Amino acid sequence: MKPVIAVCPGSYDPVTYGHVDLIERAARVFDRLIVAVLRNIQKEPLFALAERVEMLKEATRHLENVEIDVFEGLLVDFARKRGAGVVVRGIRAVSDYEYELQMALMNRKMEPQIETVFMLPAETFSYLSSSLVKEIARLGGSVQGLVPPFVEERLKTKVP
Ligand code: PNS
């Protein structure tokens, strides 16, 4: 049987334990998982693309079937190019669903061959987002337990 390749796209600015949890779950379900980092985020990212990739590589080094790649332009074009038939997205709460549904259906309209699969991260991370992590770090709060220690260190250098 053909191996099932999945793409897990995102901004990852920066990677959180919520992302790692989802990537671990998806890596158990699919034969290969490509974590795809969006090059141009609409709003200016805190971390450069190379930094976001480095942190993701570090955070997923224990997962043999996971690779990190970057993309720009349409996600469906990237997935097609990489031979991936599945897009994995995490849904933390009902509030995520509306936007995710819209994106999944639009992606399906553009590329009917690619299926979007929604997965649930551990409920302990249901309140966690990169945006909140950045805000807490910026305002001098602790992000311990929300992101890996090496991300915590990098956040400190960004927001002294
Ligand atoms: O981590 P994020 O910011 O929630 O990820 C959003 C992402 C990267 C999945 C989404 O913005 C995306 O797929 N962008 C690529 C451009 C694209 O394909 N747009 C059409 C979506 S219907």
- CA distances (Å), 18 to each of 74, 78, 109, in order? 24, 24, 29
**Active-site residue among 52, 92, 134, 154?**
92
Quote the ligand 1 centre to 67 CA distance (angstroms).
18
Q: Among 11, 12, 6, 38, which residue's Cα sits nearest to residue 25?
A: 6
User: Given the CA of residue 38, which atom of ligand 1 is nearest to it?
Assistant: 8
Compare 160 and 129 and report the one with higher pLDDT. Answer: 129
Cβ(16) – ligand 1 distance below 6 Å: no
Q: Is the pLDDT of residue 43 over 90?
A: no
For residues 10-34, give the mean pLDDT.
98
Locate 79 and state its tokens.
Answer: 């997935």
Per-residue model confidence as pLDDT tens digits over 102-146: 999 999 999 999 999 999 999 999 999 999 999 999 999 999 999
Query: What's the pLDDT at 48?
Result: 95
Quote the ligand 1 centre to 22 CA distance (angstroms).
17
> Is the pTM above the cut of 0.85?
yes
Establish whether 142 is a catalytic residue: no
Query: What's the pLDDT at 1?
Result: 87
Per-residue model confidence as pLDDT tens digits over 46-87: 999 999 999 999 999 999 999 999 999 999 999 999 999 999
